[in-house]
Amino acid sequence: MAPKLRNTKVNAVILTGKRTAHNQFLQLAGVTNKALIEIDGKAMIQHVIDALNDSRYIERIYLVAPEDFEELSFDSRKPIEIVPCGDTVVENLMLAVSKSGDAENVVITTCDNPLFRGVMLDRFAQRCLMADADFYYSVGKESVISASYPEVVRTYVQGKDDGYTGANVYFVNKARFSADGKMLAKIDSYRKTPWKYIRLLGLSSLLKFVTKRITLEDVEARASEVIGCRFKLVPMPFPECGIDVDKMSDLVLVRRLFQKREWQPAHAA
């Protein structure tokens, strides 16, 4: 690893969101916060903490979570601090950037990707550190995910060469991050209807999307203008990065993978 990468400070944030007693999926799972769903004898968030502990880059971990998470005990070799969460995903993303210590870079992930591992994070972080953008977002390829996990149902943006879905990991250069929070909130509200957020990028991008000619470079260029800072999409070679626990079928799959030890986290397609 080059000295520049080895000496770069990176902190990590896990977004958990607020507790809620009125979500059908959480009711079925028997919890009031997704982070606390039990998988293989651990709270789901503990698997994510384990991954961050295994990363060569991460120095400190911050949980953007309800204040009562202070009362919970997490196993971590690296320091953990609770940052009281806001009401929305984008508000919590902004908190993650502003409240994540003095490291010049921050990795932001979610509590619902228990298949995430340190080797995956390191691959992602290294690619971001070697590039020259301000705001990075990981994506999974439909061909990669469906080849290993055909039963997984995801929302894909169909591009020129493949379908793409969010992979729940961000990387931010904090000094240069200047994204428009209102625009990010609008984009987030459209995450289940891809044509709507492609429409935000302009008519040309929408036409390319409709005709399946849009590329990652097209999205990056226009998104950088719309969001207000240099934006880059980073394809992840690990199919597990495209699996989060968002519904009961996801939870059943992930629990089965852990129980039968079918999952090979070091595999990259």
Choice among 4-8, 47-51, 127-131, 145-149 with the minimum mean pLDDT: 4-8
Q: Is residue 192 part of a domain?
A: no
What is the CATH classification number for the domain harbouring 13?
3.90.550.10
Report if residue 213 sits inside a domain: no
154 domain residue, yes or no: no
Q: Tokens at residue 226, please?
A: 């719309």
Question: Per residue in 119-174, pLDDT tens?
Answer: 999 999 999 999 999 999 999 999 999 999 999 988 898 888 999 999 989 999 99
Q: Report the C-alpha gap between 204 and 174 in whole angstroms.
A: 31
Q: Is residue 155 domain-resident?
A: no
User: What is the length of the chain?
Assistant: 269
- Number of structural domains the chain divides into: 1
Whether 59 maps to a domain, the answer reads yes
| pLDDT recorded at residue 195 | 77
* 268 pLDDT tier (thresholds 50, 70, 90): very low
| Residue 263 counted as domain residue | no
Asked if the structure places residue 157 within a domain, the reply is no
Distance CA 43, CA 34 (A): 9
Two structure tokens written together for 5: 């990468």
Which structural domain range is residue 100 located in?
A: 3-141+164-177+231-256
